[in-house]
Amino acid sequence: MKKLLAAYLFFLMIIWGYFLFFYPLDTYTSSHYAAMAHAMYFSKLPLEWLLLYTIIKKGWSIAWMDRIEQFTGRLWLKTLFFSLLLTVAYQFVRLPFNVIWFAISRKEGTSNQTVGNWFYELGLDSLFFWLILAAGIYAALILMGRFKNWWFGLWLLALPAAVFVVYIQPVWIDPLYEDFTAMEPGPLRTAIEDLTEKAGLEDATLLQVDMSEKTTTFNAYVTGIMGNARIVLWDTTLKGMPQEEVLFILNHEIGHYLKHHVYIGVAGYLLLSLLLLYAGALVYRVVYKNVLTKQSSSSGNDLRAVPILLLIFSLLLTAAQPLSLAVSRQIEASADRYAVEKSDSDQLRAGISSFHRMAEQSKSDVNPAFWIKWMRYSHPPIQERIDRIEKELTDRETNSSSSS
């Protein structure tokens, strides 16, 4: 394991050296914050694989289960304890990087989150991670013990999970992290209400969320379905941007809503999860047949073998991420097109300035390398979005000149 640790430390040196000194960063500020964000992402990327590999190689899962089974024989309790140990180990190996990034974000001015609130959110994240992990492992073990095509049964359980994420989470989970309120009365709210009324939004709730206590950056998003559909604007956006820029951003979010992108996202999640579960089950079957049965007498649905299953799915998820992000960028580009179509020339110029403002405040990489874009960007890079608007303005001016 010393060789593995040394290899990882060498990997970190290469990653940070490249992004700090050689990466062609394109940003509207003099900060290297975006390059450090790239470096931090790739630094943390193999941590989960290294942890699971270590657990498998060192036989920790076997030792854990030997100890757990001394206290209980109930599968659900064993799964809870085993998942808790996995969660603690996972958060432990990530903690140094999270602490470093917390300090960097504070120093760079993109975050003003307090230490207390940071630990509170870390606790909430860990709690939900533990419960979701335990539920997933328990369901998988039950299905693996009863059905050959257990992966399909697990996928069927993903259906209510998807409903929970898009219908229940906005109402019950998100408010545990931030405070959501109705937008304050005033000219901006009136203009926003006029815009949503013209767009025909009748059942979407318009909210603002208090993010200024944690961040200085700007954002807005659409979440929920049916009666729980919400268009949410950060209070930093409302306070830090002129009205025309806010309205352009809102047009983008309205585009998501009218084009049913939340539903499309859910459908894509279900399709991708079906393919990944099928592929993961095939790989696990091969590993169990050729490796586990020769090394251990434990069955394929034993908790001791769970780290192998998790490692397989973690690798598959990472491999599928570029495809998932590409679909997300197409969805965001579609919402951008809606905003462009619904905006006059002055509003389009406000859209350009809004993108500039967001990029400056977040110190983002506006024109990343193609492989960074594939692996990290759920939205089109800022420069692409600005170029699209500038092209539209040029086309309109050309058409106007031709018609006159």
The residues assigned a catalytic role are 253
Tell me the sheet residues that pair with 205: 230
Task: Give me 18's structure tokens.
Answer: 């490249």
Burial of 333 (0-12, 13-18, 19+ CB in 10 A): middle
Which residue do the tokens 């290899």 mark? 7
Do the beta carbons of residue 264 and residue 348 sit within 8 Å? Answer: no
CA 300 vs. chain centroid, Å, equals 31
Residue with tokens 């965001």: 332
Distance CA 372, CA 41 (A): 10
- CA dist list (Å): 2 to 5, 8, 10, 61, 360: 5, 10, 12, 20, 42
Residue 77 token pair: 């309790």
Query: In the numeric block, which tokens belong to residue 117?
Result: 């609130």
Q: Under a CB-based contact definition with an 8 Å cutoff, are residues 43 and 50 in contact?
A: no
Please, is 24 exposed, middle or buried when counting C-beta atoms within 10 Å of its C-beta (0-12, 13-18, 19+)?
A: exposed
Contact 207, 180 (CB under 8 A): yes
Residue 100 burial (CB count, 10 A):
13
Query: Strand pairing partners for 231?
Result: 206, 222
Q: Which two tokens stand for residue 326?
A: 């590409």
CA 280 to chain centre: 21
Could you tell me which of 303, 232, 298, 292 has the C-alpha nearest to residue 262? Answer: 232
The Cα–Cα gap between 254 and 248 comes to 10
